[in-house]
């Protein structure tokens, strides 16, 4: 049975595109039912609009200017998803913390993509931090992981992870390109694993996890 997917983005949406491509080719038995974006100027929204996926843009900055707090914003994001009845939520480059007000309303599994290995470089700018560590400290590898959301930042149960070797002479741009290529592939594979594709196709597997924050810092 096809799994209904909601995708949250904040930027160019290349990871969203990987999901849309996998849906189109049948590599994933999913339907992206809504895309929510946190930035009005983000180009990723157009990727969804081109294929007829409904979009919603909710800017934290605008909410704050109106005097709303973070709980109000989190509730609004959850409310934007509710009419579409997603069975799995994927944070694919979503750049804000979502607190209990979100997770208490979205009672389905929530996955997050993070460009680092488990336990390393939690939060923002993980690729830049790994690049700097390779040059200054001789760090030999970084990676990408997809994991379930829990209260602690970037510490939820890992679905899949993959190591990426580091070269201290490589430019940051080149490293980013290599990391993004792994992100696109690993995210699709992780979604497939969570929905049971490759075993018995079906809905996203519910997991017993505490309410908390997503693994992306603002």
Q: Kindly state the tokens that stand for 43.
A: 């180009």
pLDDT (0 to 100) of residue 156? 79
The pLDDT value given to residue 202: 42
Provide the residue ranges of all domains of the chain, joining segments of one domain with +: 3-194
Of 156, 164, 100, nearest to 127 by C-alpha is 164
What is the mean predicted confidence (pLDDT) over 63-81?
A: 92
Q: Give tens-digit pLDDT for 78-137.
A: 999 999 999 999 999 998 878 788 888 998 999 999 999 999 998 889 999 999 999 999
Residue 184: per-residue pLDDT: 97
Least confident stretch, 35-39, 54-58, 66-70, 80-84: 66-70
Point out the least confidently predicted range of 71-75, 84-88, 205-209.
205-209
Residue 190: pLDDT above 80?
yes
pLDDT confidence of 201, banded at 50, 70, 90? very low
In this structure, whether the domain defined by 3-194 belongs to CATH 3.40.50.970 is answered with no
Residue 101 CA: distances (Å) to CA of 14, 70, 76, 78, 212: 28, 9, 9, 8, 9
131 is known as an active-site residue: no
Per-residue model confidence (pLDDT) at position 8? 97
Kindly name the residue from 96, 114, 131, 147 that is annotated as catalytic: 114
**pLDDT for 11-51, tens place per residue?**
999 999 999 999 999 999 999 999 999 998 899 999 999 99
Parallel/antiparallel/unpaired status of strands 30-37 and 55-57: parallel
Q: Is 198 left (phi over 0), alpha (psi -120 to 50) or beta?
A: left
pLDDT of residue 124: 87
167: CB partners within 8 A, 6+ apart: 134, 175
- Predicted confidence (pLDDT) per residue in 125-184, tens digit: 999 999 999 999 999 999 999 999 876 767 679 999 999 999 999 999 999 999 999 999
Q: What is the pLDDT of residue 101?
A: 86
């Amino acid at each position: 049975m096809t799994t209904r997917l909601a995708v949250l983005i904040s930027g160019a949406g290349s990871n969203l595109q990987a999901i849309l491509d996998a849906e189109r080719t049948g590599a994933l038995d999913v339907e992206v039912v809504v895309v929510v974006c946190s930035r009005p100027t983000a180009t990723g929204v157009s990727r969804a609009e081109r294929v007829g996926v409904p979009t919603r843009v909710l800017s934290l900055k605008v909410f704050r200017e109106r005097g709303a707090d973070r709980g109000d914003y989190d509730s609004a994001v959850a409310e934007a998803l509710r009419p579409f009845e997603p069975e799995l939520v994927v944070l694919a480059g979503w750049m804000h913390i979502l607190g209990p007000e979100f997770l208490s309303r979205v009672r389905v599994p929530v996955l997050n993509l993070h460009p680092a290995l488990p336990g390393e470089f939690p939060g923002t700018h993980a690729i830049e931090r790994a690049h700097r560590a390779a040059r200054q400290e001789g760090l030999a590898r970084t990676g990408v992981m997809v994991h379930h959301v829990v209260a602690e930042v970037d510490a939820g149960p890992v679905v899949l992870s993959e190591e990426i070797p580091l070269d201290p002479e490589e430019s940051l741009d080149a490293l980013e390109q290599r990391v993004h290529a792994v992100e696109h592939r690993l995210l699709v594979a992780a979604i497939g694993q969570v929905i049971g594709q490759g075993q018995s196709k079906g809905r996203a597997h519910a997991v017993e996890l505490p309410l908390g924050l997503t693994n992306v810092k603002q």
